Amino acid sequence: MQDPRTEGVLSSLKVKFEYWAEYPVSKLISDEATQVRFKDNRRPKKEVDRYRDLLKAGAEFPPVVVMQGGQVVDGNTRWGAYDALRKAVIPAYVCQITSPALARRIGVELNSNHGKRMEKEELANWLATGNGSVGDDDALRITGWSPSTVRRVRGALQFEGRRTKLGVPLSTSLPDTVKAALNKITSPEVFADLTALADEAGLKPREISQVTGQVNETALTDVAAARSTVSELRAASGQRIEERRAGLRVTTPLHQQMSMHLGWAIKQGPSGLHDTNTHTGPRSKVLLEDALTVIREALARY
């Protein structure tokens, strides 16, 4: 069965193709150069089994898309289902494609149309291997991810390239949102300074954005003054840096976590923590006893 959506994608990219109602399954090839999905995501057993059962029940799927040599561009799960039923032929579009990059570009869009869109890591890998120029307006249609997500992932990749080139070390793993925010800093010197501070102080994207406009504008005429702004921010973040070095700010500070969890118990008071329900009361009592033991042991360490 021919598929108008697949043909539309191929035609929009000016790819010449031929429809084969019975393409030999034995000629299909899985080539890393043409794949956008990570290996474990290409033919997941659960999905292959589901497709197999549907196919056995008479369902029809869009044709797979292959290069002239049989390299699969789109349709790994369908291929797996046909394999599982030991079918000798499968509907296919045979395309005149010589560029692996174009094959991957087609695979990205057809994945979002026919099956499960790429994982975020797969998206990052695709953007990193020469496809970072995809326009924001095309992002949703091509990848299935929102333009904002594509911009964030792309910004994080660009950040890593700049950081590596400037030799700025990191002691922690920065979130993509932080990397994308830092990537908006134009001056290399200020970029390096603020990246180091974000690493040491655990700055949030909002905090970085608050100084981005100021340091970018200042750096146009006075880089030293822009760097001074970052130095002032570092001085104001002194306690925060010390707490992070001590392991208190790797996640939410411990005293804040205790405030959230123990604060509820304190607010309830003795009567509020007394479970009078005959069914749940014994379990509540055990929990209170366990908590009391832990709290006593924790207090003994101070």
Give the pLDDT mean for 125-136.
Answer: 68
Asked if 27 and 90 sit in the same domain, the reply is yes
pLDDT score, position 130:
64
Asked if 177 and 112 sit in the same domain, the reply is no
Is 195 strand, coil or helix? Answer: helix
Asked if 215 and 287 sit in the same domain, the reply is no
Structural domain contains residue 87: yes
- Three-state SS annotation for 252-297: CCHHHHHHHHHHHHHHHHHHHCCCCCCCCHHHHHHHHHHHHHHHHH
**Residue position matching structure tokens 């976590």:** 257
Asked if 234 and 283 sit in the same domain, the reply is no
pLDDT (tens digit, 9 = 90+) per residue, 139-191? 767 777 888 888 888 889 899 999 999 999 998 889 999 999 999 999 999 99
pLDDT score, position 41:
80
Structure tokens at 62: 């869009």
Boundary residue ending a domain (57, 92, 118):
118
pLDDT band at residue 232 using 50, 70 and 90 as cut-offs = very high
Statement: residue 212 has pLDDT above 70 = yes
Name the nearest CA neighbour of 80 among 2, 28, 4, 36. Answer: 28
Asked if 208 and 266 sit in the same domain, the reply is no
Mean pLDDT of the chain: 87
Structural domain contains residue 138: no
Statement: residue 253 has pLDDT above 70 = no
Q: Tell me how many domains the chain contains.
A: 3
Q: What is the DSSP letter of 128?
A: I
Give the pLDDT mean for 83-101.
Answer: 93
Asked if 85 and 22 sit in the same domain, the reply is yes
Asked if 101 and 8 sit in the same domain, the reply is yes
More confident of the two residues 152 and 122: 152
pLDDT band at residue 254 using 50, 70 and 90 as cut-offs = low
- The alpha carbon dihedral of 220, 221, 224, 227 has a sign of negative
- Residue 9, by phi and psi: left (phi above 0), alpha (psi -120 to 50) or beta? alpha
pLDDT score, position 164:
94
Q: Which residues are CB-contacts of 251 (< 8 A; sequence separation ≥ 6)?
A: 257
Asked if 177 and 270 sit in the same domain, the reply is no
Q: Are 187 and 222 in contact, with CB atoms under 8 Å apart? A: no
Structural domain contains residue 283: yes
pLDDT band at residue 248 using 50, 70 and 90 as cut-offs = low
Asked if 212 and 280 sit in the same domain, the reply is no
pLDDT score, position 37:
82
Q: What percent of the chain has pLDDT over 90?
A: 48
Q: Average the pLDDT over each of 92-106, 107-121, 202-216, 224-238 and give the range with the smallest value.
A: 107-121
pLDDT score, position 142:
75
Q: Give dist(CA 117, CA 150) in Å, integer.
A: 13
pLDDT band at residue 84 using 50, 70 and 90 as cut-offs = very high
**What radius of gyration do the chain's Cα atoms show?**
28
Structural domain contains residue 142: no
Q: Give dist(CA 274, CA 280) in Å, integer.
A: 11
Structural domain contains residue 203: yes
Boundary residue ending a domain (118, 133, 149):
118
Q: Are 197 and 237 in contact, with CB atoms under 8 Å apart? A: yes
The domain in which residue 235 lies consists of 170-245
Over the range 59-88, which residues count as b (16 or more CB within 10 Å of their CB) and which as e? eebbbbbbbeebbbbbbbbbbbbbebeeee
Structure tokens at 297: 């042991």
